[in-house]
Amino acid sequence: MNKQVAVTQFDHLIQTNDWLAQRVQPVALTLSEQLQPASGKDTVIFPPTYARDEKRKAPEERLNHPYAIDTFRRDIEPEAARDTAEVNACSLDSVGSQANRMETQFSKAPLSALVPQVCIIAKDQKVNLLNIGHRIADGAVRHSAFGEKGKPAIAAIKAGNALPLAQLAPTSLVFGFWDSRDTQFKAARVLSSTIRATNVEVLKRSAQFNPAFDPTSIGLTEIATLNADQVVDDKDPLSKEGMRSAPAVDTHGGVRVYGKIIRRTEVNLVALRALAVIEEGELKTAETLNLRRYILGLSLVAAIAQPDYNLRAGCLLVGDPDTTTKAQVVTPDGKRAAFEWDAETIIAYANAVAADFTQEKGGDFNFKPESVKEAVNKKAAEKEKKKSAKTAKSETAPTS
């Protein structure tokens, strides 16, 4: 891409002046896209499923589906509401899932040139950091040779200096992370995105499996197939081997969408302007601006990086040709103005600001199993020490 852009064109969004200026600076860039099922608006689609412990709930509170659906109104049926009101909302792709889909695009050309390519190797397995769920704070990363770089970078951003982390693993700033196993530090997401459907009706489906042979006609019975020393449970042994008919009645069968399917994306400019380069307690203005330009460039690209919305089996989405994508810049007073999220301009900007930002080199780093063992043993020793101290305290306490 040869388009020429000015690296200063978005500086008004990310520069920090005095606190009065902050009161009027834009707080977010938003992108709203209306989608529809690839096979048409009336097509049944399948949301993600979640495990639930329904046994502890009262019968009237139990769900007959595993989907994440929030109900707003019960006085209107979803099919009756359509676009006149929102009676419920169904999650089709969560913030975390969307982040994973966007982040992995940076492991592929041409976006791979924008960020360091770090891989963790464990025996014959090799995983790119951009495909690891908890990013810089993931256990696979912390207990690797790369963790020796990552830990000081997390300590630095905890102290206010985002530069080391931006140089090592910039997408950990774009999509956020939580160092839940060590420092407990949380880095806020600069970019977030969700896909939700409104006014959905849950459907059911049933199926019947029939084996190739009737087991009784070929000499198979439960008694004949069981050995004396085999543990007998309440499950049919022939069913376990796929040799007996198996009905599946009224299982979850997806949803019909009567409202809209919307992907909403937000670049949090407040979180972005909180990133700074601090050296010996002093704010480095020029370096800070370069860092923010770089993270903004990655965020803008990530928002439009998904080549498709093939979310899962039975949930392939496409754009709605009857609507237009809406991109806006939002100010603290709630006012909104159009923002041009032009792909060619954004990618050219990201390349330009990346060229001005000094990144660490990527590479392959070995996973260290001994580090895991050491951490486990250390925590076990600490737990035992606390237990012993508690026991000693109770033994020496005066009795009444």
List pLDDT tens digits, range 260-283.
999 999 999 999 999 999 999 999
Supply the pLDDT for residue 229.
56
Q: Residue 263's closest CA among 195, 310, 327, 217?
A: 195
User: Which DSSP state fits 359?
Assistant: P
Query: Omega of the bond prior to 110 within 30 degrees of 0, cis?
Result: yes
Mean pLDDT, the chain, whole residue set: 90
pLDDT over 70 (residue 232): no
Residue-range domain boundaries for the chain: 11-198+255-366, 205-253
The owner of tokens 């001005």 is 356
Integer angstrom CA distances of residue 55 from 52, 58, 71: 9, 8, 21
Relative orientation angle of helices 285-303 and 95-103, to the nearest 10 degrees = 100
Residues 208-229 pLDDT 10s? 888 888 877 887 775 555 555 5
Q: What is the mean pLDDT of residues 128-150?
A: 95
Residues 238-257 pLDDT 10s? 777 888 788 877 788 899 99
Q: What is the mean pLDDT of residues 111-129?
A: 96
Residues 357-375 pLDDT 10s? 999 989 999 999 999 999 8
**Cα–Cα dist 171/339, whole Å:** 23
Residues in the chain, overall count: 400
pLDDT over 80 (residue 236): no
Q: Residue 309's closest CA among 299, 297, 317, 298?
A: 317
Those residues whose C-beta lies under 8 Å from the C-beta of residue 187, and which sit 6 or more positions away, are 157, 165, 172, 173, 176, 177, 178
CB 275 within 8 A of CB 45: no
pTM of the model as a whole: 0.87
pLDDT over 60 (residue 91): yes
**Residues forming a β-bridge with 30:** 266, 328
What is the secondary structure of 141-205 as a DSSP string? HHTBTTHHHHHHHHHHHHTT--HHHHHH-THHHHS-EE-TTTT--EEPPSEEEEEEEESEEEEEE
**Tell me, what amino acid is at 248?**
A
Classify 231 as helix, strand or coil: coil
pLDDT over 60 (residue 230): no
10 Å CB burial of residue 68 (0-12, 13-18, 19+) is middle
**Cα–Cα dist 372/385, whole Å:** 20
Those residues whose C-beta lies under 8 Å from the C-beta of residue 102, and which sit 6 or more positions away, are 175, 191, 193, 302, 303, 305, 306
